[in-house]
Amino acid sequence: MTILAIALGVSIVLVAGFFWLNRPQLVRIDAALPDVFPTDGFSHALLEQLLERYVDADGNVNYDDWHGSRGDRQALDRYLAAVAQFSPESSPNRFPRRSDALAYWLYGYNAYVIRSVLQHWPLDSVTDVKAPIEAVRGLGFFYRQRFLFGGKALSLYAVEHEKILEAYRDPRVHFVLNCASESCPVLRPELPTGDELETLLASATAEFVDDPHNVYIDHDKRQVVLSSIFRWYRNDFINDLRRRGLPTERGVIDYIADAAAPPLREALRKAADYEVVFEDYDWTINSQ
């Protein structure tokens, strides 16, 4: 047997071992549907009540109290039992409008993130939920775990990229999806559906870009300092500008300027020759 053949055999064994050790881990929801759940449509009312109870004005979550309340952890599972049973793909009649389907994916994603944090509580960061071989940061939390959406087991990564980003092509979802981390967009207790979802997407985008934690102009260093979200999803933002026939010469800065309030828009115009840099992402848990 040649050295090349031996090396190939070892590589195959290592790769197979990696995928076996990191095989998907299904998070099962053992709960009945909410006590009052519509026969038509889909209700987010139970999740909304829980968020109103445990999320503060800054979007931070009181995981300690939520984890300590067996009843409210079970209430979250009842909501997720509905997410697990129905989806726009398995029950399209329950989601008559495109916005209803998008709301389902957004709120279901956020709810499963909270469920996973509570399952592993206490946590300093979602990145503490490790895969056996953590080849990529966040592998255990975002890739390995599987959650049921309408009977189909999906990772959080798959929901974000396949069910939301690829299907809807709306980069404003980046300002509503919450990954339970300090640098994430804030978590909101209000869960609008239908036409009201458009208002949420617009306001969430405006609030995010006008927050100096996410967009900051440092005149001393002649830099525009941005959230890493604008680096990771740069193409989403630029492609959206192109679809709307807007300028893209300055890349994500053009997207931010379009969404920003007039003072920030003018400041960005004056900083046209500044260097664009990106803040390190803070993966600290978004706990109160």
Query: pLDDT tens-digit profile of 90-103?
Result: 999 999 999 999 99
Place of tokens 């985008």: 205
pLDDT at 228: 98
Q: What is the per-residue pLDDT for 11?
A: 52
223-226 and 145-149 as β-strands: parallel, antiparallel, unpaired? unpaired
Q: For 22-60, what is each residue's pLDDT tens digit?
A: 579 999 999 999 988 999 999 999 999 999 999 999 999
Residues 230-278 pLDDT 10s: 999 999 999 999 999 999 999 999 999 999 999 999 999 999 999 999 9
> CA 238 to CA 244: how far, in whole Å?
10
CB 63 within 8 A of CB 51: no
Task: Please report, for residues 24, 115, 131, 230, 263, the alpha-carbon distance to residue 227 in angstroms, rounded to integers and kept in the order given.
Answer: 30, 26, 27, 6, 19
Identify the pLDDT of residue 22: 58
The pTM for the full model equals 0.92
* Confidence at residue 143, expressed as pLDDT on a 0 to 100 scale: 95
Query: By C-alpha distance, which of 196, 187, 205, 204 is closest to 111?
Result: 187
Does residue 16 have a pLDDT over 50?
A: no
Q: In angstroms, rounded to a whole number, what is the distance separating the alpha carbons of residues 198 and 276?
A: 29
C-beta of residue 234 within 8 angstroms of C-beta of residue 227: no
Residue with the two structure tokens 């006008």: 210
Instruction: State the DSSP code for 247.
Output: -
Boundaries of every domain in the chain: 20-207, 213-278
Nearest to 141 by CA among 159, 128, 154: 128
Other C-beta atoms lying within 10 Å of the C-beta of residue 206: 16
The average pLDDT across 11-18 equals: 46
pLDDT for 6 beyond 70: no
How far is it, in rounded angstroms, from Cα 100 to Cα 43?
10
Mean pLDDT, all residues of the chain: 93
DSSP E strands, 201-243: 215-218, 223-226
pLDDT at res. 14: 42
* Single-letter amino acid code for the residue at 166: E
Output 133 or 177, whichever has higher pLDDT.
177
